[in-house]
Amino acid sequence: MTVEEKKKLQVALKRVQGQVGGIEKMIAEDKKCEAVVTQIVASVSSLKGIAKTLLAEAAGSCSKEEYTQLLKRFL
């Protein structure tokens, strides 16, 4: 993985951290359930995107068997 790719992942992870912090705040402030769940879904979507990026990277560095096991485990 290149330095640039790692930076992109780190930015994406920081964004998810911010989303989770926002969710905590929304719960503390008794925001409507729909709004909280919407933010949770957005966070999960972001994490799935990060996971896909990492799995794609693994495709180039793992054996076919290892990669198949990763896919079975996480998808």
Task: Walk along the chain (75 residues) and give the pLDDT tens digit of each residue.
Answer: 789 989 999 999 999 999 999 999 999 999 999 999 999 999 999 999 998 888 888 777 777 888 788 778 876
Which pLDDT belongs to residue 71? 77
Interatomic CA distance for residues 53 and 51, integer angstroms:
5
Q: Are 43 and 16 within 8 A, CB to CB?
A: yes
Which pLDDT belongs to residue 64? 80
Q: Structurally, what CATH architecture does the domain formed by 3-74 represent?
A: Up-down Bundle (1.20)
Which pLDDT belongs to residue 16? 96
Which pLDDT belongs to residue 1? 77
Where do the domains of the chain lie? 3-74
Which pLDDT belongs to residue 34? 97
